Amino acid sequence: MTKTGAGRFFEDYAVGEVIRHAVPRTLKEGERALYHALYPARHALYSSDPFAQACGLPSSPLDDLVTFHMVFGKTVPDVSLNAVANLGYAEGRWITPLWPGDTITASSEVIGVKQNSNGKSGVVWVRTTGRNQHAETLLSYVRWVMVRKRNPAAPAPAPVIPELAGALAPGDLAIPRGLDFTGYDFELAGEPHRWADYDIGERIDHVDGVTVEEAEHMMATRLWQNTAKVHFDLTFRPEGRLVYGGHVISMARALSFNGLANAQMIVGLNGGAHANPCFAGDTIKAWSEVLDKARTPAPGVGALRMRLVATRDGKVGHTHGEDGKYLPGVLLDLDYWVLVPV
């Protein structure tokens, strides 16, 4: 019974190594429809071909988070099968939209390792890149995870801690070829608020909520071929299946339509924390805060740096307790750049 893989442990990662992840995936119209069934997604550019074409694109791309989930899912068997915790994200850049019919492959370069002082685990940093069938980069991002050691007696590697940007500079954002918001139809998109209407520091309560069901988060997680046991197997985790953190990201992003209907294309992921685990029965709500604003060279296209917070208690504004830790009602704290008509 040695045909199944046990996954990598901390001592299996060497800085500089490039891991080619398995099982390429072709995504088409079926995945688009499922995304709309699993999340209350309404951003017009991802809902309508003619709307996307009026914005200068050849057709409506698949949701930017589909790219993220799919690439992330590919990395699970190699990066997070023995992970104790998903610690953070940085420098996430969406370079090319994902079109129906595209095939995603993914690879990760190990860019940092640091053994923990307890000697039982360590932190591994990887820069993961997802590519389409033309070898164009769809998305790249840095993720770091805490991974168990197979053998606590194994010697600690020389620590390498990568220098990571706290946030992408506006000039680092890739604007999809052809994107043009000068003829943007705000009425058809659902809200009148343009880039100029958002102020740094402004908070938006997205009001709506969705109570999570087991069947839904499992279908989503499987769709991205993320097969981490904790999401599926109640015998492995009798206290309750853990909802894939990306399910919370997509749910919160979709809920943010109500107040951010014109925040169309996600182009940067500055950071993110899965503050607390989410389980079926939790009701996900979301609020946002405008962190920064920038113009882009594309016609009519501005960028907003947004903080997106998902909660299970519906509270808006407070995320941390006096001890500096996340409050138990907070599920997600995400920092991203999004393109908005000016």
Binding of a copy of itself at residue 219 (CB under 8 A)?
yes
Site for a copy of itself in 257-286 (CB under 8 A): 258-261, 283
Site for a copy of itself in 108-167 (CB under 8 A): 133
- Asked whether 140 and 93 are in contact (CB, 8 A), the reply is yes
- Asked whether 329 and 319 are in contact (CB, 8 A), the reply is no
Binding of a copy of itself at residue 42 (CB under 8 A)?
yes
115 vs 264, beta carbon nearer a copy of itself:
264
Tokens of 251: 């749910």
CB atoms within 10 A of CB 197: 11
How near is the Cβ of 146 to a copy of itself at its closest, in Å?
22
- Asked whether 39 and 178 are in contact (CB, 8 A), the reply is no
State the amino acid at position 182 in one-letter form.
T
Binding of a copy of itself at residue 34 (CB under 8 A)?
yes
Per-residue x/- track, 192-211, a copy of itself (CB under 8 A): -x---x-----xxxxxxxxx
Q: Which of 11, 63, 216, 333 binds a copy of itself (CB under 8 A)?
A: 216
59 vs 325, beta carbon nearer a copy of itself:
59
Q: What is the DSSP letter of 79?
A: I
Phi first, then psi, for residue 334 (nearest 5°) are -115, 145
Distance CA(266)–CA(89), nearest Å, equals 15
How near is the Cβ of 100 to a copy of itself at its closest, in Å?
8
Distance CA(115)–CA(187), nearest Å, equals 54
Site for a copy of itself in 57-76 (CB under 8 A): 60
Cα radius of gyration rounded to whole Å, the chain: 20
Q: Which of 117, 118, 151, 235 binds a copy of itself (CB under 8 A)?
A: 235
Q: Which of 85, 103, 120, 152 binds a copy of itself (CB under 8 A)?
A: 103
How near is the Cβ of 5 to a copy of itself at its closest, in Å?
7
